[in-house]
Amino acid sequence: MAQWQDLLRLDAALQARVSQLYEGRFPREIRHYLCVLIESLDWDLAAGDENAASTCFHALLEDLQEQWIRSVQENILLQGPDYTGMKDYLLKNFEYKPLNLAVILSECLKEEQKIKASASEAQACGSPDIDQKWKWKDMDNKINELKRLIMEVKKEMKSLEILNDNLDFIQKTWQNEVEQDIGLAHSHAVVEEECCKRTNFIIQTKQVVLQEIVNILNLAQPIVATLTEVELSEWRLRQQLACIGSPVDTCLDHLQKWFTAVAEVLLGVREQLQKLKEQNNTPDSTNASNLPGLMAIIENQTLSLFTQLLANALVVEKQPIMLSLPQRPLILKTGVRFSVRVSFLICLFRFLANLPEFKCLLKVKPVFDKDVEEVKTVKWFRHFDFNRDECKVLDVDSPNGDLVTEFVHMSLKEIKGRTKGSIEGRLAVTEELHIITFVTEFRHVGLELNIEASTLPVVVISATTQVSSAWASIMWNNMLSTGDSRNLQLFVDPPPLTWEQLSQVLSWQFLCTGKRELDENQLSVLRDKIVDDPDDLVHWSKFSKNENAWLWIDGILDLIKKHLVDLWRDGSIMGFISRERTAELLKEKQTGTFLLRFSESKTNGAISFSWVDNSNGAPFVHSIDPYTKDELEKTSLPDYINTYSLRGRKSRHTNPLLYLYPDIPKDTAFGHYFTNTAEQMLGEHGYVPRKRRDFSDNPTPPPSPPREPNTDMDMDVETKLEYHELIQELFSGSFIFPEYYGSSYEKTASTPTSFVDPRCSV
């Protein structure tokens, strides 16, 4: 369970990598609810031993059964996961193939360890830059100085206690001893003189202590301001960018360490002030007239700093996210569960654990659209609430005393029946922004304080078809509304983004989806398609409304996610490149050089390849009809590349794809992806299954050099007739053919025409 819990604390990008491990292989829900048992079993052994695999499989079933029985006994069956559905899934998919289950979990657990290790390396290697490291080191030094000063104050207070005890001893017992030695006449004078000396020294010591406390507060004040106004704001900005794909560090360790250390110092100051006050209130204590007033001022300043620290200590550590959309947080769908994690930056457990009331000290309650003005003033603004009331206690999550709580079964319902505003001016569902606020009450050491923390603006959708548009809104809002600012009516009149801002966030999308960012050439192609403003601005209507460039880009992201992750990551796909630039690059290369490019015409995402042919003395670039997601679902792109061929005259098949641009042999580039080798193709009875072969008839060659008119005419007619006869031979009886079989053309920069090669499969 420790490994799974650690993974849940990673940022959104790394959690998305974990989700991709299980997508289409094993339900993440089962991994979550059986995490303790799964991590305790030896799946490596089970992957090579069918008996061990069967034992592990039945252990999972038994654990699910026990959890189901427990939920029935505790009457929380409806609140818990679908144990029956999970059990049915295991039985359906692995009852007779437990080895498959063992192999999947063995591989996934190893990959989880790699992801966890990469996160640790990123933190250890200092993902923050040098300036950030110096800032952190400077803050550490200042807080260490605070700790040293409070230790000095505590030592001085110990000395004061001894001095007061000695003075009390003199006043109560020493007078009797003096009377016996020197007589009554001189006893009072001697005692008073000694008491006066000690009293003055005590007063001086108290003044020294108070001055040291003032020094502590003077040092603590800018530290608290920096933590609450600078460091916390910078962390929130990093988290905001991480939500839309930025590979930034969102770890809370530094903030939590600093908040806790300063809180301990301030509570230590209050404790020492209370001891000074008690000493001044004792009947026989000396009391300088100015000390009580000075202590009151210092106490108020201490309380003010502690309150400022507490008011900012509650944060949303993990923004709302649906399990089905791990890479796209802040998108919520009505009726669908989502999770969110709340953390308290001050580890109160360290110094409050011995208090009986600590167990339920901080209860957190979520409130939807709390204090949102649009709820009252905007008639068309939709209203939502949680499907059930939920209040959770911040619990200690680690030996360090971290206070966290995670809401994992939250879901929303829309409140109907309100007066609707006019259609004019209304925002689309995917442009309407909302927030969730978490509220807690702090009651301790005479301090009563309401503490709140809000999520980043979320979009609430009602259908999965709205996800793409909703994510465009999330990206746009988070690039514009940085830090603590929020504008829930941003899309009433959305400001433009600079191309620099938009290109960065688009590159992050490809990094999250395919683990490789866009390079300058790819971004240049996108800029030419999206930007038409002289000031290099991109308007919302251009990006996601009228022309909807985002819909095309998101279709390609989905294509990569489902079918091309490995090829995109290893750089095999050039991707965004114009037809003209494709021809320019290929015409300088040897015959058979090809590159992979995304379709510019299909909005749902498709990929094509283009290759160069120099057989007629001049370079000529051919492009194949793009492969769609439906086609790649049946056969992988590397296999299409491996088996693709041109059928020339006499029915010979040749593969024209020889070298991946610039000059990588096809087998070197894609050989490890091919799945149609003889060993891999054997069916369950040892037969080699029949495969659909992807091929095209030889495309019509480029125009030939000028020849004698009659000869050229004869060749042209002969070529057309042979091509026409070939098509009739292939499809005789299926179609009625016209006199001539036509081909479609695509303009290029390198030659007058370039054929879009029609593909056939047999």
In a 3-state reduction of DSSP, which class is residue 671? helix
Site of tokens 């809104």: 473
> Each residue of 671-708: pLDDT tens digit?
888 885 544 444 445 444 545 566 665 554 444 343 44
List the one residue out of 693, 677, 674, 678 whose CA is nearest residue 566: 674
Predicted pLDDT at 736? 40
Assigned fold of 314-464: Immunoglobulin-like (2.60.40)
Query: Which ranges in the chain are annotated with CATH 1.20.1050.20?
Result: 139-311
Among 121-125, 558-562, 687-691, name the most confident range.
558-562
Question: Which of 271-275, 442-446, 518-522, 690-694 shows the lowest mean pLDDT across its residues?
Answer: 690-694
Show the tokens assigned to 295.
């202590």
Predicted pLDDT at 250? 87
> Each residue of 407-461: pLDDT tens digit?
988 999 998 865 555 555 578 899 999 999 999 988 776 778 889 999 999 999 9
SS3 content of the chain, % helix, strand, coil (to 5): 55, 15, 30
CA angle 9, 15, 20 (to 5 degrees): 155
Q: What pLDDT band is residue 617 in, cutting at 50, 70 and 90? A: confident
Mean pLDDT computed over 701-717: 41
Q: What pLDDT band is residue 323 in, cutting at 50, 70 and 90? A: confident
User: What is the length of the chain?
Assistant: 762
Mean pLDDT computed over 283-294: 60
506 alpha carbon, distance to own chain's centre: 15
Mean pLDDT computed over 80-106: 87
* E strand or H helix that includes residue 581: helix 579-586
Torsion over CA: 221, 222, 227, 229 (sign): positive
Residue 235 confidence (pLDDT) above 50: yes
Torsion over CA: 332, 335, 336, 337 (sign): positive
pTM: 0.72
346 alpha carbon, distance to own chain's centre: 24
Q: How far apart are CA 632 and CA 624, in angstroms?
A: 15
Q: How far apart are CA 420 and CA 428, in angstroms?
A: 14
- State the amino acid at position 426 in one-letter form: R
- The CATH class for the domain spanning 2-124 reads mainly alpha
Mean pLDDT computed over 392-402: 71
Mean pLDDT computed over 706-712: 41
Q: How far apart are CA 718 and CA 723, in angstroms?
A: 9
Torsion over CA: 211, 214, 220, 225 (sign): negative
Q: What is the CATH number of domain 139-311?
A: 1.20.1050.20
The percent of residues in the chain predicted with pLDDT above 90, rounded, is 23
Mean pLDDT computed over 366-374: 86
Higher pLDDT, 618 or 185: 618
Give phi and psi for 674, each to the nearest 5. -65, 140
Mean pLDDT computed over 132-149: 87
The CA radius of gyration of the chain, in Å to the nearest whole number, is 36
Burial of 335: CB neighbours in 10 Å, binned 0-12, 13-18, 19+:
exposed
* E strand or H helix that includes residue 24: none
Query: Which ranges in the chain are annotated with CATH 1.10.532.10?
Result: 2-124
Q: What pLDDT band is residue 550 in, cutting at 50, 70 and 90? A: very high
Q: How far apart are CA 339 and CA 351, in angstroms?
A: 30
Predicted pLDDT at 190? 59
CB 439 within 8 A of CB 414: no
Residue 650 confidence (pLDDT) above 80: no
Average pLDDT across the chain, whole number: 78
> Each residue of 242-258: pLDDT tens digit?
999 988 888 888 888 89
Query: Which ranges in the chain are annotated with CATH 2.60.40.630?
Result: 314-464
